[in-house]
Amino acid sequence: MTDTLSTWGGWEPAIRDDPFSHFAETRARCPVQRVRLADGHPAWVVLGYNAARQALNDARISKDMLAALEDNGDIVAEGLPGPEFSRHMLNVDPPDHTRLRRLVSRAFVPSRIAALEPAIRSITDDLLDELDAAGPGATVDLIQGYAHPLPFRVIGELLGIPAADRPRLHAWFQVLLTCWAGDPPSEAVEASDGIVAYLRELVDAKRQSPSDDLVSVLVAAEDDALTTQELLSTLFQLVVAGHDTTASLIGNAVVALLDHPGQLDALLADPGRLPAAIDELIRFTAPVPHATFRVTTEPVTLDGVPIPPHQQVLVCLGSANRDPGRFPSPDVLDISRSDGPNLGFGHGIHYCLGAPLARLEARVAFEALLGRHPGLRLAVDRDALTWAHGDGLVLRGLVSLPVVLGPSRRQVVLGPSRPQG
Ligand code: HEM
């Protein structure tokens, strides 16, 4: 019976480049279906908006994959860097989830996020200066030179990772995230070991001399409110959740705007539309096309489809956000949409804690980039763009984005970035 299951993931290049018609065809057959993952494990994929929203907010569908592994080791594959670093809020249920999320939330209160804006602006300006140094007609890589380093530096600021250490740590995370799926090659194991050792040292250093950063806040809560394993896991998860996601959003959004020049012109004419545009770009480009894995602890019925206990559940946010039952003309990018929130940042108790930070980073990134280079264009054929992450399901982003930025504007039109020249 299981042999008749269709495979989910293990994308052919054509599907990975544009998964949305594949999502639509599968969703039209049934919004909830049993599939086989590329690693051979079975799972239930949830494609319809209503079923996805329910699955993300149903207490009978657990995020504790380690417990699931003990209950039924056959359903889930373990990932790097192993269980030692897996005890973070996205991998546990209440009451542990409530406790861990509350501790980290202190760093994400609106006033603290807003206070990061000048630092984010200064990072974007520095990165654009570096790209501009190549000259107005030069081809530059917007992923490696802008979309990726920006959120990594920001999460480094927030956590209190010394600037000198960030390139080393960033390189390890890059290796780890591109090898996320399947059997880890030796370089991924090395990167994982490097990250583990580095985060241990960082925590030791903050124990000796604490400051005003998130690592110090968490170290102060250690023992009373969280274990060392939870502390290290939390740091690991924040770095992972905090950079590749936002980098993918920036890259995907640039491509979507270049594909839709009318929408880009509307933004350039009225930059006040950026916040709404960012949410529409998340809906349309799916930087996080699937939520992380979940598992049923009891029988659950989603959109009329019964799922037994101990089954892996994969919510396809990229499909739910293009469900025509929820979003009229879902395949149209429209920054003036007023259809209400989408599921791009998830839903329920695991709703993205970093959403306000991601929105701020994206807004500043676009204000600075489009303000300086409103005429930027692709330097390669649209079809030559390469989408990253192997068979990984959780992220959708570009390996590189070669663009010609064009002349730098002396007068910056969007946002209060530094004038150039
Ligand atoms: C465009 C950028 C981002 C997108 C699209 C995104 C998306 C998501 C999604 C879909 C979830 C829920 C996953 C699930 O339920 O399985 C999530 C959770 C989370 N995200 Fe984000 N994220 C982004 C940026 C960030 C940033 C910048 C941070 C922090 C610096 C962050 C921190 C978190 C955390 C801590 C969770 C777990 C929340 C919990 O379990 O209670 N994210 N994110």
Residue 236 and residue 81 in contact, taking contact as beta carbons nearer than 8 Å: yes
Which atom of ligand 1 lies at the shortest distance from residue 347's CA?
15
Cα 18 to averaged position of ligand 1 atoms, centre (Å): 23
Mean pLDDT for 70-99 is 76
pLDDT at 147: 97
Instruction: State the pLDDT confidence band at 1, using cuts at 50, 70 and 90.
Output: very low
Going by alpha carbons, the residue nearest to atom 20 of ligand 1 is 352
Q: Which atom of ligand 1 is nearest to the CA of 88?
A: 40
Window from 99-103, 119-123, 190-194 with minimum mean pLDDT: 190-194
Instruction: Look at the chain and count its residues.
Output: 421
Token reading at 241:
């959740």
Q: In a mutational test of the pocket of ligand 1, which residue from 352, 359, 389 has the highest number of ligand atoms less than 8 Å from its CB?
A: 352
Pocket mutation for ligand 1, best pick of 58, 152, 345, 357 (most atoms within 8 Å of C-beta): 345
When pLDDT is averaged across residues 257-283 and rounded to a whole number, the result is: 96
Nearest Cα residue to atom 27 of ligand 1:
242
Task: For residue range 386-405, list pLDDT tens digits in order.
Answer: 887 555 788 899 989 999 99
The first and second tokens of residue 205, run together, are 């250093």
Residue nearest to atom 17 of ligand 1 (CA): 352
**Mutation choice for ligand 1 from 99, 116, 245, CB with most ligand atoms inside 8 A:** 245
- Residue 8 reports pLDDT greater than 80: yes
The pLDDT assigned to 173 comes to 87
Q: What is the mean pLDDT of residues 86-110?
A: 93
Q: Can you give the pLDDT at residue 75?
A: 59
- For 151-173, what is each residue's pLDDT tens digit? 999 999 999 999 999 999 999 98
CA distance 359 to 362: 5
Mean pLDDT of the region 169-196: 79
CA atoms of 417 and 367, how far apart (whole Å): 8
Compute the distance from residue 196 Cα to the ligand 1 centre, in Å. 21
Ligand 1 neighbours, Cβ below 6 Å, are 56, 89-90, 101, 155, 238, 241-242, 245-246, 249, 282, 287-288, 291-292, 317, 344-346, 350, 352-354, 357-358
pLDDT bucket at 418, cuts 50 / 70 / 90: very low
Residue nearest to atom 37 of ligand 1 (CA): 90
What is the pLDDT at residue 413?
47
